[in-house]
Structure 1
Amino acid sequence: MTRLFGTLPRRLAALFLLLLVSGGALLAGIQVSLTRNYGNAVVQQLSAGLAQHLVRQYPRLADEGMAGEQTRALFNNLMAVNPNVELYLIDPQGMIINDAAPPGHLKRQKVSVEPVTAFLHGDPFPVYGDDPRQLHGQKVFSAAPFISQGKVRGYVYVILQGEHYSALHAMAWQHNIGVMVAASLVLLLIMLLILGGATFHWVARPVRALERRVRQISLGQPRVTVEAVPDTRSMTQELVSLSQGVTLMEAKIASQWAELAQETQERRAFLATVSHDLRTPLTAIHGYIESILLLSDNLSDEEKRQYLEIALSESRKVSQMAQSLFELARLEYGVITPDKTLFSLEDLVQDVMQKMTLAAQTRNQRLQVEPLAGLPVVSADMGMIERVLTNLLDNAIRHTPEGSTIAVRAWPASDNMILEVADNGPGIPPEKRSQLFTRPALLKGESLSRGGLGLMVVHQILQLHGSRIELISCPGACFRFTLPLATQSQSAG
Structure 2
Amino acid sequence: MKLTLTQRLSVVFAVLLLICSSTSAWLQVRSNRMHELEVVQGVSRDLAAHIARDTQLMDADGLKPDAVRNLFGQLMLVNPSVEVYLLDIEGRVVGNAAPSGHLLRDRVDLAPIRRFLSGAMLPILGDDPRSVDARKVFSAAPLKANGTQTGFLYVVLLGEAHDVFDAKDATGMALKIALWCIGLVALLCLLAGLLAFAWITRPLRQLTDKVGRFDINGAPKPAENIAPTSDSGDEIAVLDHAFMQMENRLGEQWRALTRQEQERREMVANISHDLRTPLASLHGYLETLSLKDATLSAEERRRYLGIALDQSRKVGGLAQSLLELVRLEHGFVQPVLEGFSLPDLVQDVFQKFELSAEARGISLSASLPAQVPAVMADLGLIERVLTNLLDNALRHTPVNGDVEVLLAVEADSVSVTVSDSGPGIDAELHEGLFLRAFTIGGARRDGGLGLRIVHRILQLHGRSIRLVERPGRGATFTFSLERRASVR
The TM-score bracket by the shorter chain reads 0.7 to 0.9
TM-score (norm. length: structure 2):
0.78
Structure 2 vs 1, CA of residues 16 and 482 (structure 1 numbering), >3 Å: closer, same or farther? same
Equivalent residue for 2:23, pick from 17, 22, 26: 26
Could you report, residue by residue, the CA deviation over 1:8-67 in whole angstroms, capped at 9, with x for unpaired residues? 234223312431332233123212212322332444356445434533552x12438932
Could you report, residue by residue, the CA deviation over 1:359-408 in whole angstroms, capped at 9, with x for unpaired residues? 33443433334567863321111121111111111111221123333333
8 Å contact from structure 1 (residues 88, 97) kept in 2: yes
Q: Secondary structure at the match of 2:463?
A: coil
Please state if 1:38 is matched with 2:38.
no
Structure 2 vs 1, CA of residues 201 and 345 (structure 1 numbering), >3 Å: closer, same or farther? same
- Aligned-pair distance for 1:73? 3.6
Which residue of structure 1 lines up, in the alignment, with residue 463 of structure 2? Answer: 467
Q: Secondary structure at the match of 2:443?
A: coil
Equivalent residue for 1:486, pick from 476, 484, 487: 484
Paired with 1:224 and 1:131, the residues of 2 have a C-alpha distance of 85
8 Å contact from structure 1 (residues 281, 318) kept in 2: yes
Paired with 2:277 and 2:106, the residues of 1 have a C-alpha distance of 119
Which residue of structure 2 lines up, in the alignment, with residue 366 of structure 1? Answer: 363
Q: Secondary structure at the match of 1:471?
A: strand
Equivalent residue for 1:413, pick from 390, 405, 410: 410
Please state if 1:250 is matched with 2:258.
no
8 Å contact from structure 1 (residues 44, 140) kept in 2: yes
Structure 2 vs 1, CA of residues 266 and 147 (structure 1 numbering), >3 Å: closer, same or farther? farther
Paired with 2:441 and 2:369, the residues of 1 have a C-alpha distance of 41
Matched AA of 1:282: L
Could you report, residue by residue, the CA deviation over 1:292-343 in whole angstroms, capped at 9, with x for unpaired residues? 4455555444334333332332232233223323333333344433221122
Paired with 1:86 and 1:65, the residues of 2 have a C-alpha distance of 24
Q: How many residues align?
A: 469
Which residue of structure 2 lines up, in the alignment, with residue 307 of structure 1? Answer: 304
Within 5 Å, give how 1:25-424 maps onto structure 2. 25-44=22-41, 47-48=44-45, 50-55=47-52, 57-58=54-55, 60-63=56-59, 66-67=62-63, 69-70=65-66, 73-74=69-70, 77=73, 81=77, 84-90=81-87, 95-96=91-92, 98-100=94-96, 102=101, 105-106=104-105, 108-112=107-111, 113-117=113-117, 123=121, 126-131=123-128, 137-146=134-143, 155-163=152-160, 165-166=162-163, 169-170=166-167, 172=169, 194=191, 198=195, 201-217=198-214, 219-220=216-217, 223=221, 238-296=235-293, 299-370=296-367, 375-424=372-421
- Aligned-pair distance for 1:262? 3.6
Deviates more, 1:405-414 or 1:214-223: 214-223
8 Å contact from structure 1 (residues 270, 443) kept in 2: no
Matched AA of 2:105: L
- Aligned-pair distance for 1:213? 1.5
Matched AA of 1:110: D
Could you report, residue by residue, the CA deviation over 1:249-295 in whole angstroms, capped at 9, with x for unpaired residues? 43443344344434433443344344333333333334433444455
Q: Secondary structure at the match of 1:22?
A: helix
- Aligned-pair distance for 1:87? 2.0
Which residue of structure 1 lines up, in the alignment, with residue 442 of structure 2? Answer: 445
8 Å contact from structure 2 (residues 363, 401) kept in 1: yes
Could you report, residue by residue, the CA deviation over 1:196-247 in whole angstroms, capped at 9, with x for unpaired residues? 8526632455433312212333634555799x99xxxxxx955444434433
Equivalent residue for 1:15, pick from 9, 12, 15: 12
- Aligned-pair distance for 1:172? 4.3
Deviates more, 1:333-342 or 1:427-436: 427-436
- Percent identity, please: 39
Paired with 1:242 and 1:337, the residues of 2 have a C-alpha distance of 40
8 Å contact from structure 1 (residues 111, 130) kept in 2: no
8 Å contact from structure 1 (residues 51, 158) kept in 2: yes
Paired with 1:417 and 1:254, the residues of 2 have a C-alpha distance of 38
Structure 2 vs 1, CA of residues 173 and 449 (structure 1 numbering), >3 Å: closer, same or farther? farther
Structure 2 vs 1, CA of residues 247 and 136 (structure 1 numbering), >3 Å: closer, same or farther? farther
8 Å contact from structure 1 (residues 65, 97) kept in 2: no
Paired with 1:312 and 1:343, the residues of 2 have a C-alpha distance of 37
8 Å contact from structure 2 (residues 103, 131) kept in 1: no
Q: Secondary structure at the match of 1:439?
A: coil
8 Å contact from structure 1 (residues 88, 96) kept in 2: no
Q: Secondary structure at the match of 1:337?
A: coil
Matched AA of 2:198: H
Structure 2 vs 1, CA of residues 377 and 76 (structure 1 numbering), >3 Å: closer, same or farther? same
TM-score (norm. length: structure 1):
0.78
Paired with 1:109 and 1:371, the residues of 2 have a C-alpha distance of 125
Which residue of structure 1 lines up, in the alignment, with residue 454 of structure 2? Answer: 458
Paired with 1:485 and 1:203, the residues of 2 have a C-alpha distance of 59
Structure 2 vs 1, CA of residues 371 and 46 (structure 1 numbering), >3 Å: closer, same or farther? closer
Tell me how large the CA RMSD over aligned residues is. Answer: 4.2
Matched AA of 2:116: V
Which residue of structure 2 lines up, in the alignment, with residue 232 of structure 1? Answer: none
8 Å contact from structure 2 (residues 91, 107) kept in 1: no
Q: Secondary structure at the match of 1:157?
A: strand
Paired with 1:428 and 1:321, the residues of 2 have a C-alpha distance of 22
Paired with 1:98 and 1:65, the residues of 2 have a C-alpha distance of 14
Matched AA of 1:465: H
8 Å contact from structure 1 (residues 130, 136) kept in 2: yes
Paired with 2:11 and 2:355, the residues of 1 have a C-alpha distance of 87
Larger helix share, 1 or 2: 1
Matched AA of 2:109: K
Structure 2 vs 1, CA of residues 248 and 479 (structure 1 numbering), >3 Å: closer, same or farther? closer
8 Å contact from structure 2 (residues 390, 418) kept in 1: yes
Paired with 1:477 and 1:279, the residues of 2 have a C-alpha distance of 29
Matched AA of 1:342: G
Paired with 2:484 and 2:347, the residues of 1 have a C-alpha distance of 20
Matched AA of 1:485: R
Q: Secondary structure at the match of 2:36?
A: helix
Structure 2 vs 1, CA of residues 223 and 417 (structure 1 numbering), >3 Å: closer, same or farther? closer
Paired with 1:76 and 1:65, the residues of 2 have a C-alpha distance of 20
